[in-house]
Structures are given as C-alpha cells and as structure tokens.
Chain A
Amino acid sequence: MAAEQSPKIVIVDESPIRAAILEEGLREAGYVDVQHIREMHNLLARIYALDPDVIVIDLENPSRDVLEQMFQVSRAVRRPVAMFVDQSDSEAARASVDAGVSSYIVDGLKKERIKPILDLCISRFNAFSKLQDELERTKSALEDRKIIDRAKGIVMKLKGLTEEEAYVLLRSTAMREKKKIGDIAQSIITAAELLK
C-alpha cells in the first residue's frame, strides 16, 4: 500500500450508519482517502467535485442510474467510469448484489487494486444487515417482554395467581398450543380488552 497512493473512495449512501461502518472498515484496511455523499440532489456535480477513483453505492439507492450516465462519453461527463464487474467471475457479481452494494471505477484503476476494496464493501454491507437483523430481534424481544408482563398482570388479577404461577400458566399454554409465549400473551390482552 505504501508504494502506491491510496485511491480516493467515495461512498454514496443515504444511511449514515452503514456508511460509517464501511468507512471505518476501509480506513482500518489502510484506505485513508474516503468520503461520504449523503445528499442525492445534484449527485454528479458532487462526485465531480470530489473527483474519486472508486465510487461505492448501495443498491437500494435509485441514484444508481445517475452513475450509469458516467459510462457515456459526452460533454457532461469528465472522466469515464466503468462498473466493476469481472466478466469471468459471476460469483463475485452475485455476492455483491446479494450484499446490496455496487462499485464503479474511474479511469481505469487496476482490477487487482479494486478487488480488495469491493470484498471489504461486501463484508461490511453483510455485517450491517446482520446488525440490523439483530436490532430488529432485540426490539421485538423487548416488545414481547412488555406484552408478557401485561398478560401476566391480567391473569394474576383474574385467577388470583402469583406472578410465578401466572408465567408458568402462559408458558405451558404456549407449549401445548405450539405457539410463541408472546402470541399467547397478546391473545390474552386482546380478549381482556374485548371483555372489558
């Protein structure tokens, strides 16, 4: 890396968290020149102002089509750009699309120099998705806890049970009906509200 100057990388991503995760990964790997564009308005002008060697964009971004204009030879386009695709390596293309990221190289940056960047983007994008899934799961677990607590309260009051007994009743019902305890708790709350 020391021998060659670090390529300038621009991340086009409306998600600041994902961009930060990606940027951190790139910096750790020694790519010191990383910029982030969040604002899609006038995207091409913003990119030209930064004049990057590599552009990384997430696939949920409609502005991907704007980047395709940079493949064209025209007055509006200063330096031709190509999408990084290795024609011989369809697995790599698939991994990239699966991860939800696409990369473009400006003015013939060598393939062996972009490959590690792309690999890093793929792994960081995947890490972000995993993080998001975990966050979702934690959120729903928290929701479940609240619902179960409310249902326990209803059962305790109606049947004169202790908290421990109410929980055991919910759990054994869930097991018998092959349902999640959160779902049983939700039905109790719904029923209680109906019968108010």
Chain B
Amino acid sequence: MTAHPLHIGFIPLVDAAALIVAVDQGFARDEGLDVTLVREVSWSNVRDKLNIGLFDAAHLLAPVAIASSLGLGHVKVPIVASFNLGLNGNAITVSPALHAALMAEVDGDPFDPMVTALALSRVVANRRKAGAEPLTFGMTFPFSTHNYQLRFWMAAGGVDPDEDVRLVVLPPPYMVNSLASGHVDAFCVGAPWNSVAVDLGVGHILHFVADIFQRAAEKVLAVRQDWSEKNPEVLAALTRAHVQAAGFIEDPANRDEVAAILAQPDRIGVSPEVLLRTMDGRLKISPDGVRRESRRYLLVGREGAGRPDPRQAAWLYAQMVRWGQAPLSAALQQTAEAVFRPDLYDAALGVVGTVNNDIPDAVGAFAGPAFDPQNIAAHLASFEIANMKG
C-alpha cells in the first residue's frame, strides 16, 4: 500500500511539537501517512490555506478554528479538531521599565496574578494622572488565546482592555524587537519568544499562563469538517500518530532527542537549550538569571491534554462574546463546541475516553466563578468588565 500524502501547515512554535515529532520521528509514516510539513509565517496564511484545501490539516490557534466555524471575521468554513496539540504554554513578558513599575506597586506575592493585575491597575492610574500614553500590549491574533488571556488577567484587576490600555496584534517573530524598541510595553506569546526576550535582557516573564488558567486549550490539529467526513480513516491514523508523538515528547528520556528534532532550521529553528527549558517548564524569568518552575507550563499529552474538551471550546466562545467578537446564542455555542471532537479522538484510539476531572470546570481560572457552559450569560454577567455586542 502506498502512503497517503498529506500537506500540513504549522507556525514555528513549541506547541507544534506533537505534529513535528509525529512526522520527523516516523509515527505518521508508521500509520501509512506521507506528511509534508509546510512552515508558515502567519495565522492568516495557515487559516486560508486550510480553508481552500492547500493544506489537509494544520497546527491552528484553537480560537481561529472556532471563529472559522462561526464565520467570524472571515469566510465561514467548518473546522473540526480531533487532537489538542497543547494546553497552556504561553507567558506574559513585560519590559524592564514596566516590570519595575509593577513591582513598585505589588502588594503580595508577585506570582499571584491577582496581585499583579491590581498592581497593573495602579500603574495605569498613575500613568493617566501623569498624562502618559496608555500601555501597549502585544498579542498574536484577534482570535487568539493570548488576546483572551491578557484580557482576562488585566480585567480581574479592574483594567478595561479596550479603554485603559492598547492591545495590538504582532507576529511572534517581531515581539522581542517590538519590546526592545518600546513599540510595546508587554506581550503575551508562546514559546520560545518569552525566553528569547529574557535572554536578550529586554524582558521579564511576569506570568506563565498556567498561573492564570490551569487548563487553557491552546493549539489544535485542525481539519475541514467536510474533509474529516470524506477521510475518516486518514484522520484516525493522523490522530493516532499525534497521540504516539505526544507520549514520546512527554517521556523525559526522549527530551534531548525531541529538542534536537524541533531545533532544526526548517522546524522551529531555535537552540535545543531554549526548547528544553520550555518542555521542562523551567524558565529563566529575568535577565539576571532568576529561574522559575512549573510542571503545568506546557502540557503536551499529559493529564489527558490531547483529548479535545468541548467545555474549553465553550469557554473560548464565551471570551469572544465577552469582548464583542461574537453575539451570544445557543446555536453559535453549539457550533463552537462541535469544533472540539473527543469522539473522533476516542474512535481513532478505539477507547472510550474519560474526562479529566482534576479541574472541575475544565479551565481553572484564577479569578471569577467556575465556568458554566450551561449558562454563559450568567457566567459573563458575573464579570464587572466586559464589552459585549449590543
């Protein structure tokens, strides 16, 4: 039997690890797939090439998959995800100047996001009094976890992300330069860019996103719904290759090998040492060398991370509603939830999956009530700051 050819797009970020290892370590080939990986420069390109069929599958921001299925901001193309490429993995990095300003206002543990969010609100108020320009925060895409994570964090401290600061989209490779040049005061981005900023001495990692959420769905393995219906066997094989790859990545014995694969110039193309820091969740957080560890920094397959959880899709949809990107309706919520397909994951593995119960509401946010997908309206009403449509 000849191998089934597939073209899969990705952005050079550490959370593409399961996809890259599935291909380069031969798990995809063992499943009868002949995958060509295509490195892309923008999420818009990945989305468009998946939409028009130049890609069979893609490493995609989970909110972009949902926005595409809802027809938000662009052409409506239903997308499904049979595998979650990663949970968490982002961090918030601030300039040395903003770091100093925040630390001067911090009242409590600086690793507690509520403490830093309240400090931020005081910095914002001080700047306003002094007539300074609002702070600018960089994030990667309008429909991105980074956008929602920054907003959730600062709003908890009383900072209105649409009124009190500026949020701007920046391509990840430009983040570090923009921070160094003062174009932005802070950013939220995935690995390796936070570490790059710290290594160059232009940023301090203020928070791991794992401080803000216990389980934040980040990137998914996305395919068009019509493609998934026409190619169920191929998708199952691809999903199995990813499950294998995720297991391989999470085994500490394989870490050096995985870092060497990901470090290749046509893959992620940064030093293996930076990749190891990310995978081990042991990051240098300030230019003077201070380190911080979190086992939850990035989950690839551990704790059931690979199995898509529709409650997380509902949570992402709720953020789109909270910030005025989508209206609230039961039909839209249902469409959003249907993007995350644990049934396809289970079918591929031939098991009946179980829900991870460690985090009862599937998200585990540091502030606000537990997420309730049954009543998004009431859930959102409990937040003081929001910018809903109409």
Contact = CB atoms under 8 A, between A and B. Distances in A.
Interface of A: 40-42, 44, 59-69, 71-76, 83, 85, 87, 90, 93-94, 97, 102
Contacts of B53: 94
**Leading 8 A-B pairs by shortest Cβ distance:** A62-B171, A69-B169, A64-B42, A64-B44, A62-B41, A71-B73, A65-B42, A66-B169
Contacts of A63: 42, 171, 174
Interface stretch (B78-86, B159-167, B347-355): B159-167
B386 to A, nearest CB: 14
B100 interface: no
A80 to B, nearest CB: 11
Contact of A69 (B41, B42, B162, B168): B168
Interface in B63-80: 73-75
A60 B325 contact: no
A65 B140 contact: yes
Contacts of A85: 74-75
Contact of B43 (A40, A61, A65, A90): A65
B103 interface: no
B131 to A, nearest CB: 19
Given A44-B168, A69-B169, A73-B324, A102 B44 contact: yes
Interface in B222-241: none
B48 interface: yes
Given A71-B73, A72-B142, A60 B41 contact: yes
Q: What does DSSP make chain B's interface, helix, strand, loop or mixed?
A: loop
Contacts, number: 78
Interface residues of B, number: 33
B52 interface: yes
Contacts of A71: 73-74, 142
Contacts of A73: 324
A97 B52 contact: yes
Contacts of B181: 41
19 contacts: A41-B178, A41-B181, A59-B41, A60-B41, A62-B174, A63-B174, A64-B42, A65-B140, A66-B170, A66-B171, A68-B43, A68-B73, A68-B141, A75-B162, A76-B166, A83-B74, A90-B52, A93-B52, A97-B54
Contacts of A75: 162-163
Given A41-B178, A71-B142, A85-B74, 7 more contacts: A65-B43, A67-B44, A68-B141, A72-B73, A85-B75, A87-B75, A97-B48
B49 interface: yes
A101 to B, nearest CB: 11
Interface string B318-350: 000000110000000000000000000000000
A64 B52 contact: no
Nearest to A40: B174
Interface string B118-150: 000000000000000000000011100000000
Nearest to B169: A69
A64 to B, nearest CB: 4
Interface in B168-211: 168-174, 178, 181, 183
Contacts of B162: 74-75
A44 to B, nearest CB: 7
A75 to B, nearest CB: 6
Contacts of A72: 73, 142, 325
Contacts of A40: 174
B124 to A, nearest CB: 15
Contacts of A65: 42-44, 140-141, 169-171
Nearest to A76: B166
Contacts of A102: 44, 48
B271 interface: no
Contacts of A83: 74
A77 to B, nearest CB: 10
B183 A41 contact: yes
A96 to B, nearest CB: 9
- Which of A59, A67, A73 has the largest count of B CB atoms less than 10 A from its CB? A59
A69 B141 CA distance: 7
Nearest to B178: A41
Nearest to A85: B75
Contacts of B45: 59, 64
A35 to B, nearest CB: 22
Contacts of B73: 68, 71-72
- Which of A44, A60, A68, A94 has the largest count of B CB atoms less than 10 A from its CB? A68
B140 A76 contact: no
Contact of B142 (A44, A68, A94): A68
